[in-house]
Amino acid sequence: MVRGNRIRREKLMKAVVVKEAGGRAELTEFPTPEPGPGQIRVRLAAAGVNPVDGKTASGAYGEGSYPFVPGTDGAGTVDRVGPEVTSFSPGDQVFGRLQLARWRGTYAEYTLVPADGVIARLPPGLDFVTAAALPVAGVTAMGVLEELGLEPGAALFVLGATGGVGGFLTQFAALAGMVVVVTADSTLAPRMQALGATHTVDHHSSEPLLNQVRAVRPGGIDALVDLVGDPSTLLPLLELLPLGGVVLSIAQEIEPELLGARGLSGGRYRRQPTAEMLEELGRLVAEGRVKVPLERILPLSQGPEVLAESTGGHLHGKTVLTIP
């Protein structure tokens, strides 16, 4: 827009961008978003990395909208609010699922968020990097444990426990007084035990997981959570569950007929996250009752490489990108 001799330029920000379907991510300049009614804009300080980021970029969830900025989790400071927003103000430090839509995410300097979305103020004692690692993995783990409905003393088996969700779920179950059996190879077993695992079984061993779990839990287990999504691994393990046992998966569908024939309940976990769950999670971490399994803290410039890694879904612990 020309006014006299002055040209009004569009404000740009740094962001990791996939410009077209099948394209490679790159750190580049991208238009800075402006908040509309009911929206807030956050100047990000950190972005959490999740397997869903790479899967979305790869087209695993269908056709997307390009150019695409990945990232769901983030933490930063509200710098502008749109009309009709009264719940947040500029200067508020926040964390959460900080994206307006799946295709405009947190691997960037700024992001837009619905003011009524899964977002919360940072509690005292919680820093941006730690907070950015919480929303997807931590809230999912919290919801899974609530949906299982287990009592203290119950035995839970977590398949694929060394990622972000598994690290949080192991802690929540241990805090609730449960016996927690998890898969972890010999290098990661000590870390999982430090997070509260009662027993670890090695999924890389030549001994079938079914036999390994029976060896440490002769009395069986009460519930199974699948974080892997491999039917050939999950189905034999259903033998571990008694009548009335529960199995949940965040990674694959489980046929209701299959569960019903075995006297089991559960299926695919689909619970929607809430801001209240996020607030509770932030409080637990700030109080030191829950540890964040941070694996790596990297600069935003390494976002393209990290996005490629996340496509495979084999991340251990949590990776966070810092945004200067």
**What digits encode the pLDDT tens for the residues 297-320?**
999 999 999 999 887 656 688 999
pLDDT at position 312? 66
Segment 261-287, tens digit of pLDDT: 999 999 999 999 999 999 999 999 999
Q: For residues 46 and 312, which has the higher predicted lDDT (pLDDT)?
A: 46
pLDDT at position 69? 95
Q: What is the mean pLDDT of residues 253-266?
A: 96
Segment 133-166, tens digit of pLDDT: 999 999 999 999 999 999 999 999 999 999 999 9
pLDDT at position 245? 98
Amino acid at 64: G
pLDDT at position 147? 97
pLDDT at position 55? 83
Q: For residues 66 and 283, which has the higher predicted lDDT (pLDDT)?
A: 283
- Of the pLDDT bands very low, low, confident and very high (cuts 50, 70, 90), residue 252 is very high
Q: Using H for helix, E for strand and C for coil, what is the string for the chain?
A: CEECCEECCCCEEEEEEECCCCCCEEEEEEECCCCCCCEEEEEEEEEEECHHHHHHHCCCCCCCCCCEECCCEEEEEEEEECCCCCCCCCCCEEEEECCCECCECCCECEEEEECCCCEEECCCCCCHHHHHCCHHHHHHHHHHHHHHCCCCCCEEEEECCCEHHHHHHHHHHHHCCCEEEEECCCCCHHHHHHCCCCEEECCCCCCCHHHHHHHHCCCCCCEEEECCCCHHHHHHHHHHCCCCCEEEECCCCCCHHHHHHCCCEEEECCCCCCHHHHHHHHHHHHCCCCCCCEEEEEEHHHHHHHHHHHHCCCCCEEEEEECC
181 pLDDT above the threshold of 50: yes
Q: What is the mean pLDDT of residues 31-53?
A: 96
* DSSP β-bridge partners for residue 110: 43
Q: What is the mean pLDDT of the chain?
A: 93
pLDDT at position 58? 78
- Of the pLDDT bands very low, low, confident and very high (cuts 50, 70, 90), residue 4 is very low
Q: What is the mean pLDDT of residues 188-210?
A: 96
236 pLDDT above the threshold of 80: yes
CA nearest neighbour of 26 among 70, 60, 65: 70
* DSSP β-bridge partners for residue 179: 155
pLDDT at position 6? 40
- CA 299 – CA 307 distance, rounded (Å): 13
Contacts of residue 226, Cβ cutoff 8 Å, sequence gap at least 6: 159, 160, 234, 247, 248, 249, 250, 251, 252
Amino acid at 145: L
pTM: 0.92
8 pLDDT above the threshold of 90: no
216 pLDDT above the threshold of 50: yes
Contacts of residue 57, Cβ cutoff 8 Å, sequence gap at least 6: 18, 25, 68, 70, 307, 311
pLDDT at position 54? 87
Q: What is the mean pLDDT of residues 169-190?
A: 97
CA nearest neighbour of 240 among 269, 195, 201, 204: 201
Q: What are phi and psi of 72, to 5 degrees?
A: -110, -45
- Of the pLDDT bands very low, low, confident and very high (cuts 50, 70, 90), residue 75 is very high
Task: Give the chain's domains with CATH numbers.
Answer: 7-134+292-322 (3.90.180.10), 137-268 (3.40.50.720)
CA nearest neighbour of 108 among 32, 53, 10, 50: 32
